[in-house]
């Protein structure tokens, strides 16, 4: 019907009666929405609508033009010639006295003003010349429109969106942000919500202008409306930088203390990300994460605990300070699970420093001197506390064992504690106690096992609340989590450690390469990969070059790149050779490892490992990858464009398939595997 009547609708756009022209424009909008390719029939005819004097016809005609621009962006240059006419009409509406027929709340035809502003936004996008032509009238609208009523606020809101979307001058953007700041002071919750939402989108374009309203945004964290609190929280995190990190984190920690449980996972994660990015010094960084663990220790992510331990282990200047602070926290409260884990790990690692060095007095606490007996009493009380979880008790046993290496005089008391656990009802605790008691017969081996862990490197923290339908944004830099893959290590043999534990800091169990889950105890089932076993074995193997096991997906999970084929083949096809795909050219070998993103099953993280097999240096390394149109790709730059003789480097990229979301990860991998040969054959290496 739309195809048959399109020509008739087009003819009626020029009818003598204004009412018919209005209805024809409305009908044209619906025709285009049903059959988008018919928009070409209306392009020439609709231009005459701008000369209309009847507001109703002009309003519907502008809507029709906007619809045509949305359907086919190639028509936008044709309509940009109409910008001066639209500017003139908008200026006339804002400066003319109110007409009774079109007056709403003292403003002349706000519906038409909003429609003109929306069309100007489309026409001025990415066009400096058109944006400059409409700059004056936008400033006039923003300045002269009365914001005391909702009708005026609606025009101001559209004006702000237009200013922020076109190529406007900085002064005009500041004016727009100030309007949003006035919205934040409005008593209407809807207006405040809209302001916060718009400011959140504006931060990426002009963060300095938004910073002027930081105090008002922080005040919104105390609003009774949960939607406003949520938006204010997101905007607060977006505003954090090096200059205001201390003030903003202090406000957010106060909000964390009183916030609802649904907010705590997001707040703890974002505070830790901000602290990792903008911490002015190591001590402030430690104090911030320590406070987070004290206030929300049951809501933090595993990566936060890993990074906290990495921060302490890699900062010798705060070893004593961190041990004293965590010791004091455990004496006060053992209900925060992750705080207990962090405290036990730190006391076990630096128990000798805790005992031998006193903590000087500061503005927050008096001087603190800890004795060996007090430390052992604390560890034993945590071990026997009804609030301590099963993994916590395991960490307490390990901390006690480490104390025997740090402070040998504690050996007799620790042995008594372990003997009491040797017939414990928990199989895991019983086995650990028996194993540890046996180690006392081999003093040199025990001391080597319980030496201090080497300093670890922090890893990226995944944000909370990432949905499964997240898509890759081509305009943003690729954010492939580097910790998803083993770090390259030139000339190092591959590790025999279980792949399920990956490149965790504390990777192995005391008596061999057996994880708690392999024992059947479920002790590591909470996903606390960083502190799943404090013993490590890293001290014993510290003289050998370390190499973390690969996280490539095997055939059991579909094996996209790790096994070019699914198990024994798919659909009767023979299985491909095992091992990750490799290409060798001119003495350079490229190996690909892949892993489905743990927060989004539609995204595949891939690492390309380049190995130079030549005695000479390779320069100007470049990798290019092509994917089908149904998929998107983001590539990080290589870690280095130069590879030394017999050395290696890596490059990370991620591939998204947003149009084919599958619940079955194997199906998703196979879908991607179908296109693998296109990807593999489309990349090339260019080097001098």
- Give residue limits of the domains in the chain: 1-76, 293-460+482-551, 553-688
Q: What is the Cα 301 distance to its own chain's centre?
A: 13
CA distances from residue 410 to 349, 417, 423, 562 in whole angstroms, order as listed: 15, 11, 22, 49
Supply the pLDDT for residue 404.
Answer: 92
Residues 396-417 have pLDDT tens digits of: 999 999 999 999 999 999 999 9
Residues 61-84 have pLDDT tens digits of: 999 999 999 888 888 888 888 899
The phi and psi torsions of 590 (rounded to 5 degrees) equal -120, 125
Q: Please, what is the Cα angle at 347 between 325 and 292, to 5 degrees?
A: 45
CA 582 to CA 587: how far, in whole Å?
13
Number of H helices, E strands in the chain: 27, 7
CA 147 to CA 176: how far, in whole Å?
13
CA 399 to CA 302: how far, in whole Å?
20
Supply the pLDDT for residue 401.
Answer: 93
From 177, 172, 90, 176, select the one nearest 137 (Cα to Cα): 90
Supply the pLDDT for residue 348.
Answer: 93
CA distances from residue 163 to 134, 135, 177, 297, 318 in whole angstroms, order as listed: 9, 8, 10, 43, 49
Kindly write down the DSSP assignment for every residue of 373-417, as one continuous string: HHHHHHHHHHHH-TTS-HHHHHHHHHHHHHHHHH-GGGHHHHHHH
Whether the CB-CB separation of 232 and 196 falls below 8 Å is answered with: yes
What's the sign of the alpha-carbon dihedral 98, 103, 105, 111? negative
CA 667 to CA 596: how far, in whole Å?
12
Confidence band, pLDDT 50/70/90 cuts, at residue 502: very low
Supply the pLDDT for residue 436.
Answer: 92
CA 415 to CA 429: how far, in whole Å?
14
Residues 239-271 have pLDDT tens digits of: 998 889 999 999 999 999 888 888 888 999 999
* The two structure tokens encoding residue 648: 């290696």
What's the sign of the alpha-carbon dihedral 589, 590, 595, 599? positive
Is the pLDDT confidence value at 678 over 60? no
CATH fold group of domain 293-460+482-551: 1.25.10
Residue 634 or 685, more confident: 634
Supply the pLDDT for residue 491.
Answer: 36
Report the CATH number of the 553-688 domain.
Answer: 2.60.40.1230
Place of tokens 């204010």: 232
CA 679 to CA 682: how far, in whole Å?
5
Tell me the three state secondary structure of residue 638: coil
CA 468 to CA 24: how far, in whole Å?
43
Is the pLDDT confidence value at 570 over 50? no
CA 182 to CA 191: how far, in whole Å?
10
Is the pLDDT confidence value at 587 over 90? no
The whole-number average pLDDT for the span 502-508 is 36
- Which helix H or strand E contains 588, and what residues bound it? strand 588-596
* The two structure tokens encoding residue 600: 């989004």
Beta bridge partners of 589: 584, 611
Confidence band, pLDDT 50/70/90 cuts, at residue 186: confident
Whether the CB-CB separation of 443 and 484 falls below 8 Å is answered with: no
Whether the CB-CB separation of 320 and 350 falls below 8 Å is answered with: yes
Among the ranges 327-341, 446-460, 466-480, 559-573, which has the highest mean pLDDT value? 327-341
Supply the pLDDT for residue 169.
Answer: 87
Q: Which of 32-36, 238-242, 671-675 has the lowest mean pLDDT?
A: 671-675
Confidence band, pLDDT 50/70/90 cuts, at residue 647: confident
Confidence band, pLDDT 50/70/90 cuts, at residue 513: very low
Is the pLDDT confidence value at 476 over 60? no
Work out the widest C-alpha separation in the chain, in whole angstroms.
Answer: 106
Confidence band, pLDDT 50/70/90 cuts, at residue 659: low
Q: Which residues contact 185 (CB under 8 A, 6 or more apart)?
A: 216
* The two structure tokens encoding residue 389: 């979880």
Q: Which residues contact 632 (CB under 8 A, 6 or more apart)?
A: 471, 472, 474, 655, 656, 658
CA 124 to CA 130: how far, in whole Å?
5
Confidence band, pLDDT 50/70/90 cuts, at residue 291: very high
Residue 11: how many CA atoms within 13 Å on its side-chain side? 5
Rounded to two decimals, the pTM is 0.61
Q: Which of 126-135, 354-363, 411-420, 486-495 has the lowest mean pLDDT?
A: 486-495
Residues 7-25 have pLDDT tens digits of: 888 889 888 888 999 999 9
From 142, 137, 173, select the one nearest 158 (Cα to Cα): 142
Confidence band, pLDDT 50/70/90 cuts, at residue 483: very low
CA 60 to CA 112: how far, in whole Å?
9
Is the pLDDT confidence value at 516 over 90? no
Go through 169-205 and write b for each residue having 16 or more CB atoms within 10 A of its CB, e for each that does not: eeebbbbbbebbbebbebeeeebbbbbbbbbbebbee
Torsion of Cα atoms, 319 then 322 then 325 then 328, to 10°:
-70
The whole-number average pLDDT for the span 474-490 is 38
Is the pLDDT confidence value at 369 over 90? no
Q: What is the Cα 615 distance to its own chain's centre?
A: 41
Q: Please, what is the Cα angle at 528 between 524 and 531, to 5 degrees?
A: 95
What's the chain's length in residues? 688
From 112, 169, 158, select the one nearest 136 (Cα to Cα): 169
* The two structure tokens encoding residue 295: 């206030």
Residue 569 or 11, more confident: 11
Is the pLDDT confidence value at 363 over 80? no
CA 296 to CA 270: how far, in whole Å?
13
Q: What is the CA radius of gyration of the chain?
A: 32
From 207, 295, 292, select the one nearest 243 (Cα to Cα): 207
* The two structure tokens encoding residue 70: 């949305």
Supply the pLDDT for residue 562.
Answer: 32
By DSSP bridging, strand 632-635 and strand 648-656 are antiparallel
Q: Which residues contact 405 (CB under 8 A, 6 or more apart)?
A: 446, 447, 450, 451
Place of tokens 């990798």: 623
């Amino acid at each position: 019907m739309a195809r048959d009547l399109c020509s008739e609708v087009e003819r009626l756009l020029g009818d003598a009666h204004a009412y018919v022209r209005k209805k024809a424009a409305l009908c044209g909008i619906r025709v285009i929405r049903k059959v988008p390719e018919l928009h070409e029939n209306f392009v020439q005819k609709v231009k005459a609508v701008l000369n209309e004097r009847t507001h109703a016809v002009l309003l519907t005609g502008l809507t029709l033009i906007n619809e045509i621009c949305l359907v086919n962006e190639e028509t936008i240059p044709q309509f940009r010639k109409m910008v001066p006419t639209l500017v003139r009409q908008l200026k006339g509406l804002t400066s003319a006295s109110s007409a009774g027929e079109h007056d709403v709340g003292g403003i002349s035809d706000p519906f038409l003003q909003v429609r003109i502003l929306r069309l100007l936004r489309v026409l001025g996008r990415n066009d400096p010349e058109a944006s400059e032509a409409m700059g004056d009238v936008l400033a006039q609208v923003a300045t002269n429109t009365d914001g005391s009523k909702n009708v005026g606020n609606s025009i101001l809101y559209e004006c702000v969106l237009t200013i922020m979307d076109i190529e406007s001058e900085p002064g005009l953007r500041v004016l727009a942000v100030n309007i949003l700041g006035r919205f934040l002071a409005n008593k209407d919750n809807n207006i405040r919500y809209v302001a916060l939402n718009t400011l959140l989108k504006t931060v990426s374009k002009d963060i300095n202008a938004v910073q002027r309203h930081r105090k008002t945004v922080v005040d919104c964290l105390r609003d009774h409306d949960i939607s406003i609190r949520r938006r204010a929280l997101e905007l607060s995190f977006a505003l954090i930088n090096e200059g205001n990190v201390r003030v903003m984190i202090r406000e957010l920690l106060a909000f964390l203390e009183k916030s609802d449980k649904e907010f705590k996972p997001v707040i703890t994660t974002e505070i830790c990300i901000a602290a990792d990015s903008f911490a002015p010094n190591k001590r402030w960084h430690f104090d911030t994460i320590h406070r987070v663990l004290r206030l929300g220790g049951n809501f933090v992510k595993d990566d936060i605990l890993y990074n906290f331990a990495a921060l302490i282990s890699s900062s010798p200047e705060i070893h004593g300070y961190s041990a004293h602070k965590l010791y004091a926290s455990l004496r006060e409260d053992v209900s925060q699970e992750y705080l207990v884990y962090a405290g036990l790990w730190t006391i076990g690692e630096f128990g000798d420093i805790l005992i031998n060095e006193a903590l000087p007095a500061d503005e927050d606490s008096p001087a603190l001197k800890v004795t060996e007996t007090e430390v052992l009493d604390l560890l034993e009380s945590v071990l026997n506390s009804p609030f301590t979880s099963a993994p916590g008790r395991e960490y307490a046993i390990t901390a006690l064992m480490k104390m025997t290496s740090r402070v040998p005089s504690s050996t007799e008391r620790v042995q008594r504690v372990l003997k009491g656990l040797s017939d414990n009802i928990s199989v895991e605790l019983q086995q650990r106690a028996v194993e540890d008691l046996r180690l006392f017969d081999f003093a040199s081996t025990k001391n080597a096992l319980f030496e201090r862990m080497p300093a670890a490197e922090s890893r990226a923290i995944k944000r909370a609340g990432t949905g499964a339908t997240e898509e890759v944004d081509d305009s943003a830099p690729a954010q492939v989590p580097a910790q998803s893959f083993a770090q390259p290590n030139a000339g190092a043999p591959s590790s025999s450690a279980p792949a399920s534990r990956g490149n965790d800091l504390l990777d192995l169990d005391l008596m061999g390469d057996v994880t708690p889950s392999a024992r059947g105890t479920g002790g590591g089932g909470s996903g606390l990969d960083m502190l799943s076993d404090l013993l490590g074995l890293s001290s014993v193997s510290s003289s050998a070059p370390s190499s973390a096991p690969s996280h490539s997906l095997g055939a059991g999970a579909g094996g996209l790149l790790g096994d070019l084929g699914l198990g024994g083949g798919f659909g009767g096809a023979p299985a491909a050779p095992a091992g990750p795909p490799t290409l060798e050219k001119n003495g350079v070998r490229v190996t690909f490892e892949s892993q489905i993103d743990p927060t989004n099953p539609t995204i595949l993280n891939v690492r390309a490992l380049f190995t130079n097999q030549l005695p000479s240096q390779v320069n100007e390394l470049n990798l290019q990858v092509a994917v089908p149109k149904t998929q998107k790709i983001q590539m990080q730059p290589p870690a280095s464009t130069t590879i030394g003789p017999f050395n290696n480097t890596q490059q990370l990229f991620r591939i998204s398939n947003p149009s084919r979301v599958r619940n079955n990860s194997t199906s998703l991998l196979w879908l991607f595997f179908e296109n693998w040969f296109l990807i593999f054959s489309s990349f090339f290496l260019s080097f001098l």
